[in-house]
Structure 1
Amino acid sequence: MKKSFLVAILIVLTFTSCAQRVGIKALEPAEVDRISQTKKITVTYFDNDRVGLSDKVEAKLAGFQLDNKKYFTIVSRKDFDNIISEQKLQNSGLVDPKDAVKIGNIIGAQAIISGHVSSPSIQDSRFYEQRVRCANSKCTELSYYNVSCMKRVSSLSADIRVIDVTKGDVIYADTLTRSSTDKHCIDDSRVLPSREMAGQYLANAIADSFTYKLTPHYKQFDVALLEKPDIDYTDRDEQLLKVSLTYIEQGRYDKAEKLLMDLVDATAQKSYVPFYNLGVIKEAQGNYDEAKEYYGYADNLMIEPVEEINNAVVRIESLIEKRKRTMEQINR
């Protein structure tokens, strides 16, 4: 009983000691930068594609939207197949860059995505898991026993290539591999996925990963606020800080900002806490330049290193640069 009570106390202390945090949603550029110059694309039928990977890639690229705006224009693959037939070109899955230039110019695509898919593989292995049960009707004693189980590891890989039709070179080429692990024991109701089911699941994961590399995306993370005074605060100053944190927690950044500005004035601009928290508000609102300014004020007032401020100064510079690159990709 005492042990359980102490554990409960530790859990409460752990959660109550955590600093209040604010969720940040930041826009990041696509990993493959050059794809932003070739947004009119066609996706060929991948070689040996028994899992429909090319269909999944085409659907995800066609459906990708950023702030409710389509990012890519998809050129019908039927046009691609017709050109392959008419020009008597060999389609071995991974399109040759020289052929891509000729095909792309005819069908009006800026980039061609092609690929080769491996056959889904499955590896099964048996093992035992220990179970426990009552040894008598009153359960005063326990007995242990083993049950037979099966582990199934499924994997799938695909070679995918993106060719710039205008320049006739490869924008992106990589082998993407995904695997999954499932298990089934004789005393549970779980069912191991078939090769076909696993292949579909893994193909979808590969398509997601590939799409992620080619598209700008939002990244979400949390930033800690400063909750304690760094200099001597009056009772009113402490109340301003406390209430501002409450408004931030409620998403009322307008009210919190006003209170923090009052705190800046009340402390004669000598406290880095309100400046830092103002920076977090502006960062959460996407106003990176203002956030950088507030973080700069906090940094100048800081005497001994403060981890939150140091991280913020570095992070905001990175966010500004990433947003610049992202906007260049979007507007091309």
Structure 2
Amino acid sequence: MKIFLLSILSILILGGCSQKVLITATKPAIVDRASKTKKIAVLKFENDNISMGSKIESALYKVEVDNKPYFTVISKNRDDILNEQKFQYSGLANKKNSVEIGELLGAQALITGKINNADMQKDYYYERRYRCLDAKCIRQQEYLVQCTNARYSLKANISMIDVEKGDVIYTNNYFENTSYRTCLDYGGGLPSKSAVFESLSDNIVRKFLPNISPTVEKYYIKIFEDPQIKYTKEQELILENALSYLKHNHLDRAEELFSQLLNSTNDRCYLAAYNLGVIKESKGEYENAKELYNLADKLIDKPDSTIIESINRINTQISNHNKLQEQINIKE
């Protein structure tokens, strides 16, 4: 079974540029130990007026690998249980309390945190404007308009706690900020404070999630179209048809034709080898892709940055693939 998500391939035709392939793949959790704790309860965060805890819980619900939920997120009656036990953040460091709460919740790990700061500061100033005093705007009048610069900052600490051992699997402080500027003659004004902090908290969740969870990544790969060897008319037709099938996302037929092209040139066509590697990578067949990228590198007349990048990338993908398999297959 292919544990790594099969990549989704789509072709973009960019005006005056080479075809590029958009590939979607899955990266393993950065913190390997986090993969051993798939039953998770997200506790209510301290000072959480922006629902950071709920956002993380929702994000964990959505994580899927091989079209199956990756986490079991426990939320039913969790707050009632915690209140009854008078369980507080400081108690997480106590193994006895952690084991007790873990048994009550049925969780292997707890995610908790605190909003350290959610601040907005406004600065007021004036900008010069000019208005015409006649039809031809020969005479002008200067005037001032009041403007506002609003700065927003959000700081949060997020931790993942091992319930049984009572120690910290992962913890980090996160900081996001942004600013908006408006003037009285702009119209519309500043965005609502809640909308801005909603966006900042979403950014923090996106930064936090890859540390404890598999996440999706997307990247583009260039397709080669112009060979460095002379083709026969038949080979030119094969190439044209192969690229056309690839454009229409008909991968099996494109793979068949590029294989035919490579064979017909006695394995001398780096273009066919490289494009076959792209197709294999898009299907999650990383070892085959690596062989084809290496073959393309040997066949080309001089070093090509695209091929070298592909060789480096596929080595990373193989490593990620193996690590993700290990994380998925860890017994709960």
Alpha-carbon offset, residue 204 of structure 1 = 3.4
Q: Secondary structure at the match of 1:178?
A: strand
- Is 1:207 paired with 2:205? yes
Identify which of 237, 240, 243 aligns with 1:239: 237
Other-structure match for 1:328: 326
Alpha-carbon offset, residue 240 of structure 1 = 2.6
- Residue by residue over 1:176-234, the C-alpha shift from the partner in whole angstroms, topping out at 9 and shown as x without a partner, is 12222222221222232454443344333323332343221221111111221122223
Alpha-carbon offset, residue 305 of structure 1 = 0.7
Counterpart contact for 2:118–2:153, Cα < 8 Å: yes
Task: Give me the TM-score of the superposition, normalised by structure 2.
Answer: 0.83
Counterpart contact for 1:47–1:93, Cα < 8 Å: no
Other-structure match for 1:50: 49
One-letter identity of the residue aligned with 2:255: E
Q: Secondary structure at the match of 1:95?
A: helix
Q: Distance in 2 between matches of 1:142 and 1:311?
A: 58
After superposition, the CA RMSD in angstroms is 2.9
- Residue by residue over 1:51-78, the C-alpha shift from the partner in whole angstroms, topping out at 9 and shown as x without a partner, is 2222222232234333442222122374
* Matching of residues 110-189 of structure 1 within 5 Å: 110-127=108-125, 137=135, 147-189=145-187
Task: Give me the TM-score of the superposition, normalised by structure 1.
Answer: 0.83
Other-structure match for 2:29: 30
Other-structure match for 2:11: none
Cα 1:182–1:77, aligned 2, differ >3 Å: closer, same or farther? Answer: farther
Alpha-carbon offset, residue 48 of structure 1 = 1.9
Q: What residue ranges of structure 2 are gaps of 5+ in the alignment?
A: 1-13
- Residue by residue over 1:64-107, the C-alpha shift from the partner in whole angstroms, topping out at 9 and shown as x without a partner, is 33344222212237445535543x55x14783253323321343
Cα 1:94–1:233, aligned 2, differ >3 Å: closer, same or farther? Answer: farther
Deviates more, 1:284-293 or 1:55-64: 55-64
Q: Secondary structure at the match of 1:315?
A: helix
Other-structure match for 1:95: 92
Deviates more, 1:21-30 or 1:228-237: 228-237
Counterpart contact for 2:41–2:105, Cα < 8 Å: no
Alpha-carbon offset, residue 35 of structure 1 = 1.7
Q: Secondary structure at the match of 2:92?
A: coil
Give the number of aligned pairs: 316
Alpha-carbon offset, residue 28 of structure 1 = 0.9
Q: Distance in 2 between matches of 1:147 and 1:202?
A: 29
Q: Secondary structure at the match of 1:309?
A: helix
In percent, how many aligned pairs have the same letter? 37
Q: Distance in 2 between matches of 1:321 and 1:140?
A: 69
One-letter identity of the residue aligned with 1:123: Q
